[in-house]
Chains A and B, each alone.
Chain A
Amino acid sequence: MTKPIRRILVYVDGTEQSVTAAEFAIVLAKSLGADLFALYVVNTRALSELVKAHIFLDSEQEEYHRDLDEDAERYLNHVRNLARSKGVSVTAERSSGAVHQEILAKVREHGVDLLVLGEISQIRSRRDELYNETERAMRSVACSVLIAKNEDRIAELFEELE
């Protein structure tokens, strides 16, 4: 029988929930013998939208772009270190654009068959404007999606992983 999950992608956005998702993805990758990819997207589309909406000044756009580049390095390094501590190899990548579209593109590019995301809202609004980027990715991606919940349990699993 072929492996049910061969390639896992975890999306990291700097939230605690996404770090928990990364820990779970590492646990799954090691347990299933799957290849692991981690992605941070510098949300340049949102930056442009905020300038267009006059919420950001031009100078602010540049400042936040630099901040996002630094966040990307910091959080991807964190995932690399987490994976290394458990003897798991991870391909950590940064891209730029609209978050959900970049996630979709990476899923296609790497032939990912499981996308792991941090916990999303438990509140279901009828307003489309309140679907954030993670939810948009969850709804539109072609592969199976796993939402990492129960931070304490995942922390335990991660600690137990040898």
Chain B
Amino acid sequence: MALIDLIQEDVVRVPLEAGTKEGIIRELVQTLAAAGKVADPEAAARAVLDREAKGSTGLEEGVAVPHGKTPAVQSLAIAVGVAPRGVEFQALDGKPSNLFFLILAPPDQSGPHIEALAEIARLCRSKAFCRTLVSSRNAREVVELFQD
């Protein structure tokens, strides 16, 4: 399953409402749950928060990639969120994060999990693409950017 197939309007949240790191993670997990992709949102959020406790996935230039392994999903699931005003996520460069890719994978599907993360890493090297994503006004615009 390619990354592009997983990003549909029902897993995109624009704008994110939460103003804290934990709130962002829970909001994105809830977005996936509402899309029918997470059986146990609390367990899924806990897996991501436990991973964040070991070290922030807030990168540079406003991008964050929170992720975790959890049996709460049956297959790889991705949510994309945009917080135009930025949220403190303990990022590497100390700046607020405003573009979030939350990834959940079952424990026995590490291959697709790693490839999805690698695709996101490649994608985020394009600062222009990230800037355009952050300026999206709704979920449809985000999906269209990926499919452009």
Name A residues whose Cβ lies closer than 8 Å to a Cβ of B.
13-17, 40, 43, 46-47, 49-50, 53-57, 59-60, 64, 67-68, 71, 74, 99, 120-123, 125-127, 129-130, 132-135
12 A-B residue pairings within 8 Å (CB atoms)? A14-B108, A15-B111, A55-B65, A55-B121, A64-B114, A67-B107, A99-B115, A125-B146, A125-B148, A127-B123, A130-B2, A132-B119
CB atoms of B118 and A130 under 8 A apart: no
Residue total for B at the interface (Cβ-Cβ under 8 A): 38
Cβ-based interface call for B25 (8 A): no
The secondary structure that dominates the B interface is helix
Chain A residues within an 8 Å CB radius of B119: 129-130, 132
Chain A residues within an 8 Å CB radius of B112: 13-15
CB atoms of B108 and A130 under 8 A apart: no
CB atoms of B5 and A64 under 8 A apart: no
Chain B residues within an 8 Å CB radius of A60: 51, 54
Cβ-based interface call for B34 (8 A): no
Task: Give Cα A133 to B117, complex, Å.
Answer: 12
CB atoms of B114 and A121 under 8 A apart: no
CB atoms of A46 and B114 under 8 A apart: yes
Cβ-based interface call for B136 (8 A): no
With both chains docked as a complex, state the minimum distance between the C-beta of A151 and any C-beta of chain B, in angstroms: 13
Of A16, A47, A55, A74, most buried by chain B (CB within 10 Å of CB) is A55
Chain B residues within an 8 Å CB radius of A53: 59, 121, 124
CB atoms of B109 and A71 under 8 A apart: yes
CB atoms of B123 and A129 under 8 A apart: yes
Other than A13-B115, A57-B54, A122-B5, give 9 A-B pairs with Cβ distance below 8 A: A14-B110, A43-B115, A46-B115, A47-B114, A121-B4, A127-B123, A127-B148, A130-B146, A132-B2
With both chains docked as a complex, state the minimum distance between the C-beta of A149 and any C-beta of chain B, in angstroms: 14
